[in-house]
Chains A and B, each alone.
Chain A
Amino acid sequence: MSCPKTQYLLQEYFSEDLSAVARDELDRHLSDCAHCNAELESVLFVQRDIQQWQEQSVPHWDRGRELFRREHRAERPLSQLWLSWQWFPTAASLAMLCVLLFNVSVVSNESGFSVSFGGSSGANIDLRAQLAQFEQAQRGEMRQLVARVESRQDSNNVQLLQAVMEQAQQSTADSFDQMYAYFEQQRLLDLQDMRAGYEQLVDSDYETIRSLQQLVNYVGYQGDIR
């Protein structure tokens, strides 16, 4: 059996701003009306059912950290920039540029060190004289070194030449010996061949004479018969 108040009452049941009087009236109706009560129980059951949702953990993400840092870095005041040592490489580059542009020289000796700008100082003249002496000494040493290397190279060349010549002579003598042996061998072979040829020729001549003798004998025999 349905109740015409169910829809309205149950809509109001979930309202937070229901007055105490209205709430009492609603409760009274629910205790009297089995249909509304059953309907309320069923929707409350469904509500409790979905409230069993278990919180899912959030997949990994960067939480906008990069965006936050990037944007706040761009808005950082100049004082913070100064404190963060980001100016140091630029300052170092500028200092080096100044050193080069003003031709700064720093000379250190027994009496301390001195810094000078430009190229025409007394220290520079001393330095040039020292450099000239050093160059002379280096040239002298270089000449001696070259002479020593040349003489050593000459002796090496002579030794090498001698060794080459000896080797060439040795190889030439060996070659002559080999040639002589070869010619000798050829000569002996030729002699053997000639001897064999003569013997063969003599044998064939002998055969020819025998054939002629047989022919003569045959002719003589035929003449006797006639």
Chain B
Amino acid sequence: MSLVDEDEALIAAALKGSAYAWEKLVKRYESKIYNHGLRLTGNSSDAMDLMQEVFLGVYRNLHRFRGDAKFSSWIFRIAHNKAVDMNRRKRLMTSSPKFSSEDEGGEFEKFPGQANLEPEYRLGSQELNTRILAMLNALSMDQRSIVELKVFQSLTFDEIAELQDISANTVKTRFYSALKKLKVVSEKENVLS
């Protein structure tokens, strides 16, 4: 049985009320969603909040999943929407949101507090992830989201364009800009170290 078929079997069982199937389904995707949230938000508490909101959304809408698309695409679409909502809420709570200089407007902006990564990501064995988060931190939320979807989730430019409701060319431009910015940050880091 393929992973897609297994997903569908688990969804069917969960819809019939099997808590075991639900838990198994959550276990399959929780790590991907959590790490996705971690790279987007830059801190574990926001990543946990995002993950819990995503699975709550999945639970509420599970009966609407028709199997036309892959469950993984569906769940990442929910994750994207929740991240947009979360960012919007944070924007409302903070007085002076920081806009990116390269990209104008857009759904995403930087999450509050992302400049100050949590200590657990600055110390010890998390050094590599800390460095990557620091690099991603230099990106605007739009760029960060596209890098996340393209590099880590392996979505195509067209899929990202559909997800973010922008043109594929805009996605390509933002992705390349993001890579250039990451290159600059990486070179700066190398010079400093």
Contact = CB atoms under 8 A, between A and B. Distances in A.
Interface of A: 7, 10-12, 14-17, 42-43, 45-47, 49-59, 61, 63-65, 67-69, 72, 75-76
Nearest to B181: A46
B180 A11 contact: no
Interface of B: 14, 17, 19, 22-23, 26-27, 30-31, 34-35, 38-39, 44, 48, 51-52, 55-56, 59, 126, 128-129, 132, 135-136, 147, 150-152, 156-158, 172-173, 175-176, 179-180, 182-183, 186
B22 A50 contact: no
A82 B26 CA distance: 30
B34 to A, nearest CB: 5
A46 B51 CA distance: 27
Contacts, number: 101
A49 B152 CA distance: 12
B59 A55 contact: no
A54 B152 CA distance: 11
7 contacts: A51-B152, A52-B128, A54-B129, A56-B44, A56-B126, A57-B31, A64-B59
A61 B33 CA distance: 14
Given A15-B172, A51-B151, A64-B55, 19 more contacts: A14-B172, A17-B156, A43-B179, A43-B182, A46-B135, A47-B151, A49-B135, A50-B132, A52-B128, A53-B39, A55-B31, A56-B31, A58-B31, A58-B34, A65-B22, A67-B59, A68-B19, A72-B19, A75-B17
A17 B155 CA distance: 12
Contacts of A52: 128, 132
B62 to A, nearest CB: 10
B157 A15 contact: yes
B31 to A, nearest CB: 6
A53 B133 CA distance: 9
Among A14, A59, A69, residue most surrounded by chain B Cβ atoms (within 10 Å): A14
A46 B182 contact: yes
Contacts of A42: 183
B20 to A, nearest CB: 10
Nearest to A15: B157
Contact of B179 (A47, A53, A57, A61): A47
Nearest to B175: A14
Contacts of A54: 128-129
A76 B31 CA distance: 31
A76 B30 CA distance: 27
Among A7, A46, A47, A72, residue most surrounded by chain B Cβ atoms (within 10 Å): A46
Contacts of B26: 63-64
B183 A16 contact: no
Given A42-B183, A63-B23, A56 B35 contact: yes
A11 B182 CA distance: 15
Nearest to B133: A53
B31 A65 contact: no
A76 B26 CA distance: 22
Contact of A65 (B23, B150, B173): B23
Contacts of A65: 19, 22-23
B135 A63 contact: no
B183 A64 contact: no
Contacts of B17: 72, 75-76
Nearest to B47: A56
B22 A46 contact: no
B14 to A, nearest CB: 8
A122 B175 CA distance: 99
A59 B30 CA distance: 10
Nearest to B172: A11
Contacts of B34: 56, 58
Among A7, A55, A64, A75, residue most surrounded by chain B Cβ atoms (within 10 Å): A64
Given A12-B172, A16-B157, A50-B147, A61 B35 contact: no
